[in-house]
Amino acid sequence: MNILINELYTEICKVDMLSDIICAELGDPCLLIVHDNGSMQTGDEAKVRSFFADLPYITALASDSPDADIADYFDIVIPADNADKYAENLFKDKTAFQIREITNCFVTARNGSTNDVLDAESRSFYRLIALITGGELDE
């Protein structure tokens, strides 16, 4: 397994079992990109499902023809070519604060209800407006 840690994203290549990622040092990314090797297996399904559900950042499977069972563990599937460019474009021209708010909305969408997602988006919107206008941010 090869792990490349960048400021905004962590990229993993050559992983055979998703369960191997559980013990890996991933840094503190906003986005985790796992490249599909075409024969990836889950490993301990319960642990993998729990691990991916609890991650505090966006998860992406980089694949041109993803296996549906593997793709189900990820928030999004992105094209395998230029996956690093996807991360850069997703966060392009965003402040660290904006990136945290975007990430929070994605994470809420992973595990929350429709109302939870709407609440997270609304809260993020008002926090961004407060930041722009000099108002107080709720924590």
Q: Give the pLDDT confidence of 54-97 residue by residue, as tens digits.
A: 999 999 999 999 999 999 999 999 999 888 888 888 888 988 88
pLDDT > 80? residue 137: no
Q: Are residues 42 and 66 in the same domain?
A: yes
Note whether residue 138 is domain-resident. Answer: no
Domains of the chain: total: 2
Q: Taking Cα atoms as reference points, which of 121, 130, 129 lies closest to residue 101? A: 121
pLDDT > 90? residue 33: yes
Question: Residue 68's pLDDT is what?
Answer: 92
Grouping H, G, I as helix, E, B as strand and the rest as coil, residue 77 is strand
Note whether residue 74 is domain-resident. Answer: yes
The per-residue pLDDT of the chain, averaged, comes to 90
Note whether residue 139 is domain-resident. Answer: no
Q: Are residues 76 and 123 in the same domain?
A: no
* pTM for this entry: 0.85
Neighbours of 97 (CB within 10 A): 13
Q: Are residues 67 and 84 in the same domain?
A: yes
Q: Are residues 84 and 18 in the same domain?
A: yes
pLDDT band of residue 129 (cuts 50, 70, 90) is: confident
10 Å CB burial of residue 100 (0-12, 13-18, 19+) is middle
What whole-number percentage of the chain has pLDDT above 70?
97
Q: Are residues 102 and 63 in the same domain?
A: no
12-32 confidence digits (pLDDT tens):
999 999 999 999 999 999 999
Q: Are residues 86 and 109 in the same domain?
A: no
Q: Are residues 82 and 101 in the same domain?
A: no
Q: Are residues 15 and 53 in the same domain?
A: yes
Count of H helices and E strands in the chain? 5, 5
pLDDT band of residue 138 (cuts 50, 70, 90) is: low
pLDDT > 70? residue 139: no
Q: Are residues 39 and 87 in the same domain?
A: yes
Q: Are residues 13 and 71 in the same domain?
A: yes
Question: Residue 61's pLDDT is what?
Answer: 96
Q: Are residues 42 and 65 in the same domain?
A: yes
Structural domain for 14, as ranges: 2-91
Q: Are residues 18 and 64 in the same domain?
A: yes
Question: Residue 86's pLDDT is what?
Answer: 86
